[in-house]
Structure 1
Amino acid sequence: MAYVAPQEFVSKMIEAGESKVFMSTRDTLIRAYMAGAILALAAAFAVTVTVQTGQPLVGAMLFPVGFCLLYLMGFDLLTGVFTLVPLALLDKRPGVTFGGMLRNWGLVFIGNFAGALTTAVMMAIIFTYAWTEAPNAVGERLGAIGESRTVGYAAHGAAGMLTLFIRGVLCNWMVSTGVVAAMMSTSVTGKVVAMWMPIMVFFYMGFEHSIVNMFLFPSGLMLGGHFTFVDYMLWNEIPTIVGNVVGGLTFVGLTLYSTHARTAPKRRVPGVTVPAE
């Protein structure tokens, strides 16, 4: 059957997290680099569609193409490893340590950032004819996004930081659901359909995704956005990463693990034989 039952795909989640801990540095960096580059290109595509059509929903409906492609090719996003790798540690897989988990997260962060930045530079060249003229309409939109989602949050102080954090939480709830959804089917069509839905939700709702932001904000800086790199790190990237960790691990990884891999004992009713699952 194309559909994989929860107990089976949760086992796949744990095994995937374990394999990522033991992956070589070279392979981890390459896979993360390509994931960041592809997702950034999809973000540029979605913003372009939104600007040209005036319909944000159209851009959100098309953005998941990048996410689906990178996961079908076996590349890694930081948001995905935030959810999968801790499960291998929680399951006490031999050789999986807290240090190994942090190593994987650090390498994937570096690879994702390098890939997204590469795409950001290339798109900035396109939007400005290699900085020989002012940014086009898409470039201007990228600069505006960078401002509104850094200094825009800062203007609200603690309330802005809380809003940013919650958007990060909600984002990786959806994105990690997409990661897991790819394991729910054995067919390419099933995987794509399952991944598409939660990714479309996160993008349309304007939730904060740490890797998409690795493209949006460096692009915004290169295209004339009125904010600084420090604004980007303090008022977006760092709080977004923390929110992404909490959202993916709490609402996806731990909930699925606790109820499908480490289920609680069944209730005992006198005189009734409890069926096995």
Structure 2
Amino acid sequence: MKTFIRAVMAGIAISVGGMIYLRAENHVVGAFLFSLGLFTIYTFGLDLYTGKVCMILNKPIKFLGTVLIVYLGNAVGTVGTGYILRATKQSQYLEHASEVVAGKLADSLFSTFIMAIMCGLLMCIAVLGFLNIKDGVGKYLALILPIMVFILSGYEHSIADMFYFSFANVWGGKALLYINVIALGNLVGGCILPLVTKVTSGEEHH
């Protein structure tokens, strides 16, 4: 239950980042401010799906259950926030949100999957960088720079997309399919660096 609540709050934090990105006229500024969502999550110990998937290879199999709870909690936070904000004056950005989402849903599933893998890889760099770098400035640069890169590159983040899809109100079979493909891509991307680290460090011992 605690994990679920932390995950809901993380979903809300990502939604705050998503909203400022939709509002920002300058994409670079929007991408920078979006990273506040990650800053909030890792400063207050909240649970984010794209951060948890980086840990899968080094955890027991039951950890997958935790990852699923986090994913569902993130969904509740983002979907709830997306629909609540539709009822506020943020609704003036609905047209822009619809354009952003239309672009995402017009992409092929293969392209979407690859874009999600790249996002998962960058999220892993951000999360593991933040957790492993001792230097205070370095920790937060690790959290901010990969986030800006994934946003400015147009890569797909399943939790942020849940917010965009909800705010634009496009849920249906197609949107659900895309979100799950993106979530799977984020998982694959998030496991790449830990897998490489595991394999290469294993070789050093032989």
Unaligned runs of 5+ in 2: none
Query: Sequence identity of aligned pairs in percent?
Result: 26
User: Does structure 1 residue 232 correspond to structure 2 residue 191?
Assistant: no
User: Does structure 1 residue 264 correspond to structure 2 residue 204?
Assistant: yes
Pick the structure with greater CA Rg.
1
2:95 corresponds to which letter in structure 1? E
Equivalent residue of 2:102, what SS? helix
- The residue aligned with 1:57 is 28
- The residue aligned with 1:102 is 64
User: Does structure 1 residue 255 correspond to structure 2 residue 196?
Assistant: yes
Superposed CA deviations along residues 54-82 of structure 1, whole A, max 9, x for unmatched, are x2222112211111121111111111111
User: Does structure 1 residue 27 correspond to structure 2 residue 17?
Assistant: no
Q: CA deviation at 1:110?
A: 1.0
- The residue aligned with 1:127 is 89
Superposed CA deviations along residues 68-121 of structure 1, whole A, max 9, x for unmatched, are 121111111111111113312xxxxxxx3x2x1221121011110011122212
User: Does structure 1 residue 67 correspond to structure 2 residue 38?
Assistant: yes
1:65 corresponds to which letter in structure 2? L
Q: How many residues align?
A: 206
1:256 corresponds to which letter in structure 2? T
Q: CA deviation at 1:174?
A: 0.3
Q: CA deviation at 1:215?
A: 0.4
Root-mean-square deviation over aligned CA pairs: 1.7
Superposed CA deviations along residues 216-275 of structure 1, whole A, max 9, x for unmatched, are 101111xxxxx54212112x201101111111102x221223334x34346xxxxxxxxx
* Higher helix residue share: 2
1:249 and 1:108 mapped to 2: Cα distance? Answer: 17
1:246 and 1:201 mapped to 2: Cα distance? Answer: 18
TM-score by length of 1: 0.70
Unaligned runs of 5+ in 1: 1-25, 89-95, 129-134, 154-159, 222-226, 267-277
Pairing partner for 1:176 from 115, 124, 130 = 124
1:257 and 1:76 mapped to 2: Cα distance? Answer: 24
Change (3 A) 1:120 1:249: same
Change (3 A) 1:165 1:193: same
User: Does structure 1 residue 149 correspond to structure 2 residue 104?
Assistant: yes
1:139 and 1:125 mapped to 2: Cα distance? Answer: 11
TM-score by length of 2: 0.92
